[in-house]
C-alpha cells in the first residue's frame, strides 16, 4: 500500500506555527555573548553552561604550553582534554595520538566555532605535521560514525546541535577528503578518545603528559606568543584576553 500523501498545513496553521516560534524566541533571554565565543572570554560551554569570569593570574614572561594549561585554559577544556589523553594513554596509543588528544580542543578557549582548524593552526609551528593534521580533521570526523574504528555519533551532539543535525557542506567535504588520507586513522583516534560521558570521580592531572610535551612539542625559547611565528598573536590573545583592542 502506498503511504498517504501528507496534508499540507493551511496558511492559518502556518501563521500560528510562526507566531509560536517567535513567542518562544522572545521568552528566552538574549545571550550575553555569541555561541562561538571562546571560553576564556565568557559565554557558555558548548553544552550551554554559563562560564564564570574570574580575574586571571599574570603569565610568566616566556610562557610554555604547560603555563597555558595551568594559567589560561579554562577548567572545562582542561578536564576534557586530560580525560581524552588519559584514555588514549591507558589504551596504549602511540605518543603522537596521546599528544593530539591532549591538545585537540585548546582553541575552544579562544573561539569555539571551527575549533579544530584554529587549534591546528596554533600548533602547526610546534608539533609534527601528523598531529596538527589530525587535530584539524577531528572537527569534521566527529560528525560521522566509524563503528569499525569504535566511533559512534555522540548522543551529546544531539543535545548540542539538535536532532537530525546536518553539518555544513565544507565539513562534509573535509570528511570525504580525510577518509582517503594516510593520516585518517590518527584523526579518527582523537574522536574515539573524545569522551563526553565523564566519570566525575576520575582524577586527572597534567603530570603524566609533561614528558611527552617535552619530547614532541617544540617550545619556543622566547615563549609562546613572543617567538615571532605567524600564530604568535593567537597565543597572545589568550595571554591578554582583557585587552580592549
Ligand atoms: Fe573538538
Ligand atoms: Fe573534544
**Domain ranges for the chain:** 65-235
pLDDT of the residue at 1: 45
Candidate CATH numbers 1.10.3210, 1.10.3470, 3.40.50, 1.20.272; the one for domain 65-235: 1.10.3210
Query: What residues sit around ligand 2, an ion, with C-beta below 5 angstroms?
Result: 105, 194
Q: How far is the CA of 217 from the centre of ligand 2 (A)?
A: 20
Task: Tell me what pLDDT residue 6 has.
Answer: 60
Convert 83-107 to b/e letters by CB count within 10 Å (16 or more is b).
bbbbbbbeeebeebbbbbbbbbbbb
- Cβ atoms of 116 and 138 within 8 Å: the answer is yes
Report CA(172)–ligand 1 centroid distance (Å). Answer: 16
3-state SS record for the chain: CCCCCCCCCCHHHHHHHHHHHHHHHHHCCCCCCCCCECHHHCCECCCCCECCCCCCCCCCCCCCHHHHHHHCCCHHHHHHHHHHHHHHHHCCCCHHHHHHHHHCCHHHHCECCCHHHHHHHHHCCCCCHHHHHHHHHHHHHCCCCEHHHCECCCHHHHHHHCCCCCCCHHHHHHHHHHHCCCCHHHHHHHHHCCCCCCCCCCCCCCHHHHHHHHHHCCCCCCCCCCCCCCCHHHHHHHHCCCCCC
Residue 177 has what pLDDT?
A: 98
Residue 4 is predicted with a pLDDT of 54
Ligand 1: distance of its center to the CA of 108 in Å? 8
Residue 101 CA to ligand 1 centre (angstroms)? 9
The model carries a pTM of 0.87
CA–centroid distance, 149 to ligand 1, in Å, is: 18
Identify the segments of the chain with pLDDT beneath 70. 1-7, 25-26, 197-200
- Find the angle CA(106)-CA(96)-CA(202) to the nearest 5 degrees: 60
User: How many angstroms separate the CA atoms of 111 and 107, rounded?
Assistant: 6
- Residue 138 CA to ligand 1 center (angstroms) comes to 7
Amino acid at each position: 500500500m502506498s503511504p498517504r500523501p501528507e496534508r499540507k498545513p493551511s496558511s492559518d496553521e502556518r501563521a500560528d506555527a510562526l507566531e509560536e516560534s517567535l513567542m518562544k524566541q522572545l521568552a528566552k533571554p538574549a545571550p550575553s555573548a555569541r555561541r562561538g565565543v571562546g571560553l576564556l572570554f565568557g559565554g557558555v560551554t558548548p553544552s550551554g553552561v554559563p562560564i564564570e569570569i574570574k580575574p586571571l593570574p599574570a603569565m610568566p614572561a616566556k610562557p610554555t604550553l604547560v603555563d597555558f594549561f595551568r594559567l589560561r585554559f579554562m577548567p572545562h577544556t582542561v578536564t576534557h582534554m586530560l580525560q581524552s589523553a588519559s584514555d588514549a594513554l591507558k589504551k596504549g596509543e602511540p605518543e603522537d595520538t596521546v599528544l593530539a588528544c591532549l591538545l585537540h580542543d585548546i582553541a575552544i578557549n579562544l573561539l569555539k566555532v571551527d575549533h579544530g582548524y584554529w587549534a591546528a593552526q596554533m600548533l602547526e609551528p610546534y608539533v609534527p605535521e601528523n598531529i596538527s593534521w589530525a587535530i584539524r580533521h577531528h572537527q569534521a570526523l566527529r560528525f560521522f560514525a566509524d563503528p569499525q574504528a569504535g566511533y559512534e555519533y555522540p548522543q551529546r551532539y544531539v543535545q548540542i546541535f539538535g536532532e537530525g543535525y546536518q553539518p555544513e557542506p565544507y565539513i562534509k567535504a573535509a570528511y570525504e577528503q580525510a577518509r582517503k588520507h594516510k593520516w585518517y586513522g590518527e584523526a579518527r583516534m582523537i574522536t574515539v578518545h573524545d569522551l563526553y560521558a565523564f566519570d566525575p570521580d576520575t582524577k586527572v592531572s597534567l603530570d603524566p603528559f609533561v614528558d611527552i610535551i617535552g619530547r614532541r612539542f617544540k617550545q619556543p625559547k622566547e615563549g609562546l606568543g613572543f617567538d615571532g611565528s605567524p600564530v604568535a598573536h593567537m597565543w597572545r590573545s589568550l595571554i591578554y584576553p582583557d585587552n580592549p583592542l
